[in-house]
A and B are shown apart, each in its own frame.
Chain A
Amino acid sequence: MRLSDLKLNNSGIVVAMLNGKKERDKLNVMGLTIGSVVTLKRRAMFKKTLIIKVRDFYLAIRKETADKIMVEI
């Protein structure tokens, strides 16, 4: 399932990242890699911006980015 489909405070393991190379590199460098555990922490109004927890810190990303990250619960 997509990272953006996670329920609040649920975690998943990243299994695939279909983002563009630049975006993927950026996420990778910050610790969001295939195999990492992510938790969805917050959805902003209209659910278009998300805050996720990965490797013990919070990251704000857009739904468009999260849509391309596949996770497995």
Chain B
Amino acid sequence: MRILLIGNPNCGKTTLFNLLTGQYQKTGNFTGVTTEEKKGFFKKNKDIEIIDLPGIYSLSSVSLDQEKAIEFIKKNKFDKIINVVDGTVLERSLYLTTLLTTLNLPITVAVNMCDEMEKKHLKLNEDKLESLFNVKVVKISAVKKINIDKLMEVSILNDKTPRFINLIDATAIYRFIEDKIDEIVVKKDSLLTVDKIDNVLLNNFLSIPILVIVLSFMFFVTNKVGGYFSNQISKTVDAISNSVEKKFIYNGMPTWFISLSTNALIKGVGAVFSFLPQILILFFFLTIIEESGYASRIAYILDRTFKCLNLSGKAVIPLLVASGCSVSGIMATRTIENEKERKKVIFLLPFVPCGAKMALFSWLSIALFKGSVFISVSLYLLSFFVIIVLSKFLFKKSAFDGDFIIEIPPLRMPRLKDVFFVLTEKIKEFMLKAGSVIFIVSLVIWGLSNFNFYGYNNGKIEESFLYLIGDLIKYIFYPLGFLKKEIAISLLSGILAKEGIVEALKMLTPNVKSLFDFSFTAYSFLTFILFSPPCVATLSIIRKEVGEKSLFKMILSWIIIAYLVALSINLIGFIYYYNSYLILLVILVIILLLKISITFYKKSFNFCTKSCKRKGIKWKIKR
């Protein structure tokens, strides 16, 4: 038997799904957390399959995630429907219920949040609701686990055919519900007392300072506290590696084996583990922001600012999520309806330093700049600056219909269980990554650095394949001031996952700082990493979302942008250092080239060019 869970966004479907199947999927307090359908089996009876869909408001599509859900309903066959409705906004929730009656399947209406209904003095008249649509009604609370088993019993046995309500127009359906709603829910108090916390969070003068404080606090704690722990982990890893090396030498193991186990496995893979503290702390904060409902409020606060950048407030949540992980950020762009805007956000999203990049930067800033906080902060500011410039000028204003309509959910206390779940999930993900991609990168780098055409080179890295490769590609990076081949090699090993850079540096050189002649070259190295194409996981999800052709264009532009930014920082450094005006001339030439390349991109990207504009105008005239 297949049971479909269906309901409005943010009504608690995923929480219910997790309860029923014993699985654990991510929840959140904003629209569009679930972006793909999820299947699972009822934990008490494995014959029953339960399907969780992205939340929808109606059966005609409004945004991409909802479109996918509706497509899914139309293509697949189900036996029963559980319509999850939020009891505190019953009037709106019943709109979908009315539409669902047209599917002609037995419907069980699960009136969720019955505990919150009680708090708000709402009394549900179940019989009235049952007879109105000829459905079964169960009051539940997914959070408090009330009536969950009863809901399943009822829905499995439910074979009532719903009363077909022959209304199509939204206005008519809402009028129909309006007429009956007073009989179904008895309101004792006036609803929705204005939230006192919201008065502060959304206050016109306080909202932006609060936002800045919250975000800076988050990044500060992540950097400082996380940095401390990751330093501790690095030290432990080095100590373990040293003691293992001593033991192996004492036992007379062959040198290649010692080098493989200590350099490649313990130091290489272990170095990556020092990233874990930062990533965990960052996700702790992000989950709290998402669960509490602050995320949609940030979208409201920043909508106007984003509109100036030719984006809507809807881009805020994906960009915020991307500061944890680009992959989830790209999934979150599905709530953006406008396809062009979505592509644009996807293009700009990898510039937001993700958790792994951030950990990488803090590692590098310790290795290169004695752990100065200024480095991480300035990289964030630089990334914002580049995003703003690109968004404002590279893509001109286009035919965006520019609507911004989002639900502001009530503020909720984040549940510790959900936060804890996200963190354990991250640890698992990280272990998997360390065990697969990073392990392989380690082995490959080790293999290449210890062998040449004549076989094992006895640890003489100068005579290895890796140096041969490094010699070949290092010229590409000469203009950026990266003269040593180790830098080129490390950038190459960062293609799969950015952690590879740390691994390679750790294996190739004991003193990272010695690779750079000037501190500004070291800084331009960081900016190059920041703007270069994201990890393979992100690339593959982008391919899924926008297709191969767009992905290819994006990768090319990312490389060019990374190169240009690193180059300009390097040049500025040189001017400052040598006080030379000749270099200023070079810069002018570069700016000219930049201008040419921008015009080239405007043409090839086809995002929001003049022709687009023209199309937009035509379209308006037609209507």
Kindly supply a per-residue 1/0 record for chain A positions 54-71, scoring 1 wherever the CB is within 8 Å of any chain B CB and 0 otherwise: 011111111011000000
Known: A25-B170, A28-B170, A33-B171. A44 touches B405 (CB 8 A): no
Kindly supply a per-residue 1/0 record for chain A positions 18-44, scoring 1 wherever the CB is within 8 Å of any chain B CB and 0 otherwise: 001011011111110111100001111
Residues of A within 8 A of B89 (CB): 55-57
B8 shortest CB reach to chain A, Å: 9
Residue of A nearest to B408 (CB): A58
Residue of B nearest to A60 (CB): B300
Interface centre among A49, A51, A57 (most CB of B within 10 A): A57
Kindly supply a per-residue 1/0 record for chain B positions 397-439, scoring 1 wherever the CB is within 8 Å of any chain A CB and 0 otherwise: 0000111111111100000000000000000000000000000
Beta-carbon contact of B194 and A23 below 8 Å: no
Q: How far is the CA of A15 from the CA of B58 in the complex (A)?
A: 23
Known: A23-B401, A58-B407, A60-B404. A33 touches B296 (CB 8 A): no
Beta-carbon contact of A27 and B207 below 8 Å: no
Residues of A within 8 A of B60 (CB): 25, 29
Kindly supply a per-residue 1/0 record for chain B positions 72-103, scoring 1 wherever the CB is within 8 Å of any chain A CB and 0 otherwise: 00000000000000001111100100000000
Q: How far is the CA of A61 from the CA of B314 in the complex (A)?
A: 11
Beta-carbon contact of B313 and A60 below 8 Å: yes
B100 shortest CB reach to chain A, Å: 14
Residues of A within 8 A of B623 (CB): 20
Q: How far is the CA of A44 from the CA of B58 in the complex (A)?
A: 29
Q: How far is the CA of A49 from the CA of B299 in the complex (A)?
A: 10
Beta-carbon contact of B405 and A59 below 8 Å: yes
Residues of A within 8 A of B403 (CB): 22-23, 26, 61-62, 65
Known: A35-B174, A56-B92. A51 touches B191 (CB 8 A): no
Residue of A nearest to B300 (CB): A60
Beta-carbon contact of A27 and B405 below 8 Å: yes
Beta-carbon contact of B92 and A36 below 8 Å: no
Residue of A nearest to B202 (CB): A42
Beta-carbon contact of A51 and B408 below 8 Å: yes
Kindly supply a per-residue 1/0 record for chain B positions 593-623, scoring 1 wherever the CB is within 8 Å of any chain A CB and 0 otherwise: 0000000000000000000000000000001
Residues of A within 8 A of B95 (CB): 29, 31
Q: How far is the CA of A41 from the CA of B91 in the complex (A)?
A: 19
Residue of B nearest to A30 (CB): B57
Residues of B within 8 A of A27 (CB): 405
Residues of B within 8 A of A26 (CB): 62, 403, 405
Beta-carbon contact of A51 and B300 below 8 Å: yes
Count of residues in B whose CB is under 8 Å from the partner chain: 42
Contact of B401 among A22, A25, A33, A49 (CB under 8 A): A22
Q: How far is the CA of A20 from the CA of B92 in the complex (A)?
A: 22
Residues of A within 8 A of B402 (CB): 62, 64
Kindly supply a per-residue 1/0 record for chain B positions 295-326, scoring 1 wherever the CB is within 8 Å of any chain A CB and 0 otherwise: 01001110110010000010000000000000
Beta-carbon contact of A34 and B192 below 8 Å: no
Residue of A nearest to B194 (CB): A41
A32 shortest CB reach to chain B, Å: 9
Beta-carbon contact of B92 and A57 below 8 Å: yes
Residues of A within 8 A of B191 (CB): 56
Beta-carbon contact of B62 and A29 below 8 Å: yes
Residues of A within 8 A of B401 (CB): 20, 22-23
A7 at the interface (CB under 8 A from B): no
Known: A22-B401, A56-B92. A28 touches B300 (CB 8 A): no
A53 at the interface (CB under 8 A from B): yes
B316 shortest CB reach to chain A, Å: 11
Q: How far is the CA of A35 from the CA of B175 in the complex (A)?
A: 8
B204 at the interface (CB under 8 A from A): yes
Residues of B within 8 A of A48 (CB): 303-304, 307
Residues of B within 8 A of A49 (CB): 300, 303-304, 313, 404
Residues of A within 8 A of B301 (CB): 44
Q: How far is the CA of A44 from the CA of B313 in the complex (A)?
A: 12
Residues of B within 8 A of A61 (CB): 403-405
Q: How far is the CA of A38 from the CA of B313 in the complex (A)?
A: 22
Q: How far is the CA of A22 from the CA of B90 in the complex (A)?
A: 24
Q: How far is the CA of A11 from the CA of B192 in the complex (A)?
A: 14
Residues of B within 8 A of A59 (CB): 405-408
B256 shortest CB reach to chain A, Å: 63
Q: How far is the CA of A34 from the CA of B230 in the complex (A)?
A: 58
Residues of B within 8 A of A41 (CB): 194
Beta-carbon contact of A35 and B171 below 8 Å: yes
Segment 389-403 of B: residues with Cβ below 8 Å from A: 401-403
Residue of B nearest to A59 (CB): B407
Q: How far is the CA of A60 from the CA of B302 in the complex (A)?
A: 12
Residue of B nearest to A46 (CB): B304
Kindly supply a per-residue 1/0 record for chain B positions 189-219, scoring 1 wherever the CB is within 8 Å of any chain A CB and 0 otherwise: 0011010000000101101100000000000
Interface centre among B89, B170, B204 (most CB of A within 10 A): B170
B23 shortest CB reach to chain A, Å: 29
Q: How far is the CA of A60 from the CA of B403 in the complex (A)?
A: 11
B363 shortest CB reach to chain A, Å: 39
Residues of B within 8 A of A30 (CB): 57, 92, 405, 407
Q: Beyond the given A26-B403, A58-B409, please list 20 additional residue pairs across the A-B interface where CB-CB is below 8 A.
A: A30-B57, A31-B91, A31-B95, A31-B174, A33-B171, A33-B174, A35-B175, A41-B194, A44-B207, A49-B304, A49-B404, A51-B300, A51-B408, A56-B91, A56-B92, A56-B192, A57-B92, A57-B408, A60-B405, A62-B307
Could you list 15 A-B pairs, sorted by A, with CB under 8 Å? A22-B401, A22-B403, A23-B405, A26-B62, A29-B95, A31-B95, A33-B174, A35-B178, A44-B301, A45-B208, A51-B408, A58-B409, A60-B296, A61-B405, A65-B405
Can you list the 3 inter-chain pairs with the closest CB atoms, starting with the nearest? Answer: A28-B170, A58-B408, A29-B58
